Structure 1
Amino acid sequence: MMAVSDPLTYEKCALEDSECIIKQAQAALPSFVQGIPELGIKKLDKLHMDKITIDIPGIFSELTNVEIGGLSNAIIDDISINVPYKIMRISFNTDLNTECDYKLNGTLFGFPIFGNGKGHFSLKNLQIEMIIIFDIIKSDQGKDILDFKSYMYGADAIDGLHSHFENMYNGDKEKSDMYHELVNKNWRLIVTNYGRYFTPLVVKEMYEGVKTAMCSRNLEDLALYGKSEK
């Protein structure tokens, strides 16, 4: 059983032993994404957001009471740490499912769109890759700790987007069916143009959780490091 104070691994791994780190992180993931309040790590599955707004020429959309699920089912493909270059790479895939209340008004591909009600959309087989730039610094107690500096990421919904919004066109089923066919068939265009208002928010919360978990502890307590390597 994993102790709450050790959220990422069940046993210590060398920093450059990717196989060991992936195995331990995968085992710890379901507990980790439920949040660790004593470390200030919020619940990541389901991740709650009060509001997401898309306000660009042609379209206004407001999502409220947003609940994002799926991170507990993520499959970790890679966690690799390059100590000399101070770079960490994380890669995983999952289906990301979102439920919300929505308001939508504007035009899409030249067609008028409007509606409000309950919404659901899923990013199928979403592949996320992150690069984290870090440093190793001394704590006030003279111990080595990680110091996350910045990150960048890429994401691709490999198996597409599926969305369903109730009460589109005030319940006009024919128009609603046409809208959903248009959006779900042209999902890559939708994700490319509008996903930047959604995916970065999820990735940021993930990054902050990992940062808090790893940077709040001495490296020798997290991994086989320094004297613990011997």
Structure 2
Amino acid sequence: MRAFTCLSLLAMQISLIYSAYPQIYSRCRFWDSGCLARQIQINVPSLISGIKELGAEVLDPMRIDYSRIDIAGLKMDISNAIVRGYGAAVVDRASVDPISRELYLVYHTDLTMDSQYNAEGSVLGLPISGDGNMRVVAKNVQIEALLPFDIVNDARGRAVIELKGIQYRLNFKDNVRFDLSNLFYGNKGLSDAMHQYVNSNWKAVADTYSRPIFDIAQDKLFKVLRSYLLTQPLDNIFNFFK
């Protein structure tokens, strides 16, 4: 009876490990972009929640210790940032080009960032200063990513995908709202005027100044996806014969 109980517990532990690890449910043909998009979508929760076996960090919520914006007159230090929303990403398109060896991925999601900030300089030409807390809520952010890759052999001699880098474009489609405490160090009149200005020009502000934060976020996502694909033989992902 005791041996049966131990075997049952071991089976449960193995089941829990594999349920948390991203799985390939259906092999795709190289040209079947719909199949590939579905497989990526199925694995989004597991990839984002952190894969302990690979030492991958949790990406929702995503922690960004520090980022520096020094663009178009604005100098802003962002620290202790928490970004939420990648776990709810919807995969719009995905494709693989085996000739040029590029993975193309388009997805969208709503993102929220809470952080501390210190700012000086100007935003779209208007002076700004302040030191406090910041919240940014971005609705329907579309990210288009191109990831070149090589095909290499792993330690067991299996062919796997090794991602080499990431290039991406952002499209803030619906709305971005900015809320900064202690803007102009408590001057309510100046703070209200700046909030009105940046939130009325949300797309220009997001397009101009968001890249440093997204560079860090995309690098974190890239590292997790790269580590995962290195564990997956090509034969597990693609059907070469049908």
Report if TM-score (shorter chain) is over 0.5.
Answer: yes
Is 1:208 aligned to residue 217 of structure 2?
A: no
Do the aligned partners of 2:154 and 2:230 also contact (CA within 8 Å) in 1? no
Q: Following superposition of structure 1 onto structure 2, how do residues 117-128 of structure 1 map, counting pairs within 5 Å?
A: 117-128=132-143
Do the aligned partners of 1:8 and 1:213 also contact (CA within 8 Å) in 2? no
Structure 1 residues not aligned, in runs of 5+: none
Relative to structure 2, which stretch is displaced further, 109-118 or 171-180? 109-118
Q: Give the C-alpha shift of residue 118 in structure 1.
A: 1.3
* Alpha-carbon distance in structure 2 between the residues aligned to 1:56 and 1:19: 38
* Alpha-carbon distance in structure 1 between the residues aligned to 2:81 and 2:117: 9
Is 1:26 aligned to residue 41 of structure 2?
A: yes
Question: SS in structure 1 opposite 2:223?
Answer: helix
Question: SS in structure 1 opposite 2:210?
Answer: helix
Q: Give the C-alpha shift of residue 138 in structure 1.
A: 2.3
Shift of the 189–8 alpha-carbon distance from structure 1 to 2, 3 Å rule, reads farther
1:104 to 119, 125, 139: 119
Cα offsets for 1:160-195 (capped at 9, x unmatched): 321101111222222211111111111222223212
What amino acid is aligned across from residue 29 of structure 1 in structure 2?
A: V
Q: Give the C-alpha shift of residue 8 in structure 1.
A: 5.3
1:149 counterpart residue number:
164
Is 1:48 aligned to residue 63 of structure 2?
A: yes
Query: How many percent identity over aligned positions?
Result: 28
Shift of the 139–62 alpha-carbon distance from structure 1 to 2, 3 Å rule, reads same
Do the aligned partners of 2:47 and 2:225 also contact (CA within 8 Å) in 1? no
Relative to structure 2, which stretch is displaced further, 24-33 or 10-19? 10-19
What amino acid is aligned across from residue 157 of structure 2 in structure 1?
A: G
Segments of 4+ in structure 1 off by > 6 A?
Answer: none
Do the aligned partners of 2:71 and 2:209 also contact (CA within 8 Å) in 1? no
* TM-score, length-scaled by structure 1: 0.88
* Alpha-carbon distance in structure 2 between the residues aligned to 1:92 and 1:57: 28
* TM-score, length-scaled by structure 2: 0.84
* Alpha-carbon distance in structure 2 between the residues aligned to 1:175 and 1:8: 53
Do the aligned partners of 1:16 and 1:83 also contact (CA within 8 Å) in 2? no
Shift of the 5–109 alpha-carbon distance from structure 1 to 2, 3 Å rule, reads closer
Structure 2 residues not aligned, in runs of 5+: 1-14
Shift of the 113–8 alpha-carbon distance from structure 1 to 2, 3 Å rule, reads farther
2:198 to 179, 183, 200: 183
Comparing both structures, which one devotes a greater share of its residues to helix?
2
Larger Rg: 2
Do the aligned partners of 1:9 and 1:24 also contact (CA within 8 Å) in 2? yes
Q: How many residues align?
A: 227
2:237 counterpart residue number:
223
